[in-house]
Amino acid sequence: MKKVLFILLATLGSTFASPASAQRIVRVKLSDSGSTLNAHFPRDYTDRTFIKGLAMYRNKIEDLVGCLILLEDKDKASIIGQYVKSGEPPLRSAALSDVLYNSKISSASAMNGSYMVASVAASTASIVEIILTDVSGVLVPETSIPYLDICRAAKSVDKEIKKKIYYIRSAKVTSVHSRAYQEVGSEAGISGTVFSAGGKVYNSSDQFKTDYVVSVDLVSLNNLLMTKNCDNLISNSELAVRQQVQQEKVLVDRAEQERRMRESELNAARAEANELKNRVAEMQDILRNQRVVADEYRAQVNNLKEDLLTAQKKVSRLQTESVENQSRAMTATASAQPAAPENKTINLVQKSEVSVISDVKTLSSDEVKQMGFKEVKPE
C-alpha cells in the first residue's frame, strides 16, 4: 500500500511540477498492494432489517418507528399503524457520522447487488468502492411503548397473522457512497484514481455517488407482548377507567354541591343586598319627606311669623285707636253732661186723669190676693 501511494504521489508531483505535461499519461507498473477487498460487513449492520420501499422515510424516520408492520412474504410488507404514547415522541439521535464500512467489493462479494448497499453491483470486470455511514437514527424508549393500546388493537387478530406482525423499535438512515473502478492493463496508460488488487489494476475517474438506505430493528409482536399479560392490562385499564369515572362522578357531585351552596349563598347575599337597598331607599324617602315636611313647616312658621307680626301691628294699631277712642269718648262725655240744676220746687205728685174721686173703698186681703198681689199685712 505504501508503494502504491508513493507511486501515486510521484505521478501527481510530476504532473503539478510541469504544467506543460499536465495532460500526459504516465505509464506505471503497480504491484499488488493488498488493498482491502471484499471486507466483511460489521454485525451491527448485517443484523439490521432492510425493507425496500422505506427509503421514502429517510427524511422522516420518526414517522416510521413505533409502527406495526405485517411481513406477508420475503419482499412484501404492509404498515399497520404507529403506536407511540401521546406526548412522548421517539428519541432522535444526534446527527451521526459513524463510518460503518469502507471497502471495495467485487462480483464475488456476497453483498454485491444487495439492497444493503443500495443495489450497488460490481461486474466481473469492475470493482466498486463503498463507504457506509449512519447519518441519523430514531429509537422508541421502553416507557414510550403503549402496550395497552397494542393489546387492544391486536386482541382480535388471528394467531397466524399475529406471527407475521412486528414492531419497529428503531430505524436508521445510512448513506451509501460508491464509486466504480474498471480493470485496466498493468502497462496501460492510466489517469484518475488507481489501485491494484489480486494482481490486477483498477482505476476510476468517477466521483462518488450517494444513495441512502433505511434499516429497522424489528421485534416480533408476540415477543413484544410476551412479558405483558394483555388480559390483565385491559381489565386493569377498564377497572382504572371505572374508578376514574367514579372519582370524576364524585368530583362532579361535589362540585355540584359546592355550586348549589355557592348559589344559595349568592341568593342569600342578593336578598340581603336587595333588603338593604330597599331600606336605604325607604330611609331616603323618609329623609326626603322629612325635608319636604320641614320645608313646609318652615314655610308655615314663616307665614305665622308674618301673620303674628301683622297681628301685633294690628293690636298696636287698635290699642292706639282704643286709647284715642277713649280719649275722644271722655271728651264727648264731658261735653254731654247736663248743667247743674237750678233751685226749683219739683212736684212729684202726678195728676190723674180722674178729676174727682167720690168713693174710697178699702179692699180686703182676699180681694188683693185675687188681684195677684202678695199678702198684705194689716197695719
- Could you report the per-residue pLDDT of 280-323, keeping only the tens digit for each? 888 888 888 877 777 777 787 777 777 777 877 777 777 787 77
Cβ atoms of 42 and 101 within 8 Å: the answer is yes
Q: What is the pLDDT of residue 219?
A: 93
Cell readout for 143 is: 416507557
**Would the pLDDT of 226 be above 70?**
yes
* Distance, CA of 269 to chain centre: 31
Cβ-proximal residues to 25 (8 Å cutoff; 6+ apart), any chain:
189, 190, 191
C-alpha cell at 189: 496508460
**What is the C-alpha to C-alpha distance for residues 181 and 191, in angstroms, rounded to an integer?**
12
Distance CA 157, CA 349 (A): 173
pLDDT at 263 over 50: yes
Poorest-confidence range of 121-130, 200-209, 342-351? 342-351
Q: Which residues contact 96 (CB under 8 A, 6 or more apart)?
A: 133, 134, 135, 136, 137, 172
Buried/exposed code over 237-275 (b: 16+ C-beta within 10 A; e: otherwise): eeeeeeeeeeeeeeeeeeeeeeeeeeeeeeeeeeeeeee
pTM: 0.55
Name the band, by pLDDT with cuts 50, 70 and 90, for residue 357. low
364 band by pLDDT with thresholds 50, 70 and 90: low
> What was the pLDDT predicted at 355?
54
Instruction: Report the residue count for the chain.
Output: 379
pLDDT at 269 over 90: no
pLDDT, position 131:
92
In terms of average pLDDT, the best of 23-32, 111-120, 208-217 is 208-217
Q: Which of 133, 174, 209 is nearest to 49 (CA)?
A: 174
